[in-house]
Amino acid sequence: MWLLRRKGPSGFSSSSTAEEVTDGIDGTGLTAIVTGASSGIGSETARVLALRGVHVVMGVRNLEAGRNVKETIVNENPSAKIDTMELDLSSMASVRKFASDYQSSGFPLNILINNAGIMATPFGLSKDNIEQQFATNHVGHFLLTDLLLENMKKTAVESEKEGRIVNVSSEAHRYTYPEGIQFDGINDESRYNKMQAYGQSKLSNILHANELTRHFKEEGVNITANSLHPGIITTNLFRHFNYGNGLANTVGKLIFKNVQQGAATTCYVALHPQVKGVSGEYFMNSNLHKPTQHGQDVDLAKKLWDFTTNLIK
């Protein structure tokens, strides 16, 4: 469709691929973590970052699937530097173990891509008794970021290179609960709506990046934090929709992105020089985009920060 080819100020459009938006960029010497890298846009993000010379650590729930992705990437690009480590974002114990193992590895950390996610699941609680979508999409990444921040700060100083945190959010943040975040009913099954709960978790990704930005500016830290909408992509996120496969087969070619296009904005925000010094922003189609009023609410971001900090204690 012609609309997909309309370029924004960055020079890229919704039809741009991850390889196109990183063309000519040398990521040699950088180390990145990509969560949820065993499938979909996560695996494509890992592949393209490795193609640009970045050392990629794949945080994956299924180690066998992660190793298969690593093997595929290395077969295509023998010089790729890829590691896989087990990570279940729905479990704080798993997140803490991942962070501890990562620190023990001695790896620096320039780029943290909080990509993993689940979508519109039936109501359920995580191992930590937190609603599953909020736990996986937000709390797990909030804790992971918190545990790795000292490494990122140290790396930014020693490498003299800007650190970047990239939260993969969604335009679904526009369809959250009326109050934005249902602080008093996160675990209330009677008030649970699977799509609004998904929107709530994706709004949380935006607010997390915004509040990180405020903290970084106060501390004078050379790290940025941004969020983004990758696009509507035919990945296994749709497995909880009865109509998902049929929809993808009938109209998918017209309105959905492929995985190569879906990973583009993530790779753009993680690597492109145009994004240097940019923080607390929301991107779509590798261009700046405006989130909802909730997504720009400073007080809501602070409240979410305090609320989540209490959850991870």
Give catalytic residues, as residue numbers. 192
- What is the residue whose two structure tokens read 């997390």? 208
First to last CA, the chain: 49
H helix runs in 52-84, sequence order: 63-76
Strands (E), 195-248: 223-229
- Token digits for 254? 């017209």
- Token digits for 211? 């509040």
Strands 282-284 and 287-289: antiparallel
Among 84, 78, 87, 82, smallest CA distance to 55 is for: 82
Strands (E), 107-171: 111-114, 163-168
Give the angle 246-248-251 at the CA atoms, nearest 5°: 100
- Token digits for 170? 């969604």
Which amino acid is present at 97?
A: K
- What is the residue whose two structure tokens read 């400073």? 298
DSSP state of 257: B
